[in-house]
Amino acid sequence: MKRILNVSNFSSIRLKYCYVNDVIRKVSNGFIRNGYEVIQYSDRDMCRFLGFGFMNGFGRKRIQEHFIEFCKQCQPDGIMLSHADVIYPETLLEVKKILPNVRIMQYNIDAICPSLGQAVANAKRIKSKADVVDATLVSTGDVELLKQFKNSTNYVGFMPNPVDKSLETETMFEHSVAENDIIIGATRSKRKVCGSLVVVPDLIRMIQSRIKDIKVHVFGLNKENMLEGPDYQNAYSKSLMGLNISAINDNYLYSSDRMAHIMGNGLLCVMEDSSGFKDIFSDDEVSYFSTQKELIEKLEYYKNNPEERMRVAKNGHDKYVELFNERVVAKYMADVLFDKLNKEDYIWTKLVDIK
């Protein structure tokens, strides 16, 4: 079986934001469970180590040499790069000279829309390697946005946020009551919701004022209520619904990986219908809203009708786990990486096809 080098920030040295259910770990798990040998390379940790504790110019220079030598020694068949920004395109070209048969993919789970400053910077980083790698996968299904990474020889496509039942272990659709009715996570105080920029604390106050006795768990808005690792995972075992609001919510098939955490743990996922996910999940699997008024109505309805909430949440959970589990997503990545892709095998390749 082939050897895969998974390169990303695995946070082994700097433990801040050391999330144990990151997509990069699910990708490693999926490849391993599909029979691949996986070697993990933590680029930022190595950069700090070589820079005497800092991601400085000295560390960034030395890691290029180290990465080339590392690849020479482990001889991977495939290299996967996730937000591995300290590995330069020139370094990858040097690796390809040494290992002419190696296949290289970059995969990225952040937004790339031009209306969001942070997303523009993210797209620029992806583009810097697009002509060097063999494939680029992004957790956005907007074909026009994805085309900026396409050339005559590479593959560019959509990557769903995987779920991993060794990490998303809860089945909250089995519970009629819990400590919280809904969990809301947002690391930015402002989000685009229903076409308008809203202040998240204001949105939360509106929900609490209009729905009697609703119990809301909010995290991520400040240092005091940040959640990491097991604390983050455990929060989903205490909630029945999850409000899935990303930094932007009207890019086709874009969502933060919070959607996988919500649905993978069996909570009812509540999200905007402008996200395009209706092409995959029906109203019987996800609770969609198109206005703030409709959001309130849906939350109130499912709060007061637990059996219906449990039914829809289970439907969504089961379908998400079937379509987007870590083995399926890793198989898709391997099919793309090694030129074995049959687009009829995956629902998303039928929806997002870049010629």
% of the chain with per-residue pLDDT over 90 = 82
Question: What single DSSP character describes residue 163?
Answer: B
pLDDT digits (tens, 9 = 90+) for 139-158: 999 999 999 999 999 999 99
5-19, 231-245, 251-265, 303-317: least confidently modelled range: 5-19
Residues 239 and 299 in one domain: yes
Residues 248 and 266 in one domain: yes
Q: What does the pLDDT read at residue 18?
A: 57
Residues 52 and 146 in one domain: yes
Closest-CA residue to 87 (of 27, 149, 8, 22) = 8
Residues 131 and 258 in one domain: no
Alpha-carbon span 241 to 183, nearest angstrom: 6
Alpha-carbon span 354 to 177, nearest angstrom: 45
Tokens at 35, concatenated? 């029979």
pLDDT digits (tens, 9 = 90+) for 171-206: 999 999 999 999 998 876 788 888 888 888 899 999
Q: What does the pLDDT read at residue 14?
A: 66
Residue 332 lies in a domain: yes
pLDDT digits (tens, 9 = 90+) for 73-104: 999 999 999 999 999 999 999 999 999 999 99
Q: Which domain holds residue 249?
A: 172-324
Residue 150 lies in a domain: yes
Q: What is the mean pLDDT of residues 340-352?
A: 96
Going by pLDDT thresholds of 50, 70 and 90, the confidence category of residue 162 is very high
Residues 293 and 185 in one domain: yes
Going by pLDDT thresholds of 50, 70 and 90, the confidence category of residue 15 is low
Residue 167 lies in a domain: no
Alpha-carbon span 175 to 184, nearest angstrom: 19
Residues 224 and 188 in one domain: yes
Look at residue 327 and tell me whether its pLDDT is greater than 60. Answer: yes
For the entire predicted model, the pTM comes to 0.95
For residue 74, what is the domain's CATH number? 3.40.50.2000
Residues 140 and 10 in one domain: yes
Residues 200 and 234 in one domain: yes
Residue 241 lies in a domain: yes
Going by pLDDT thresholds of 50, 70 and 90, the confidence category of residue 322 is very high
Look at residue 12 and tell me whether its pLDDT is greater than 80. Answer: no
Residues 243 and 113 in one domain: no
Alpha-carbon span 159 to 94, nearest angstrom: 27
Residues 340 and 302 in one domain: no
Q: What does the pLDDT read at residue 97?
A: 98
Tally of domains in the chain: 2
Alpha-carbon span 237 to 328, nearest angstrom: 25
Residues 248 and 185 in one domain: yes
Q: Which residue has better confidence, 20 or 128?
A: 128
Mean of pLDDT over the chain: 94
Residues 316 and 280 in one domain: yes
Residue 274 lies in a domain: yes
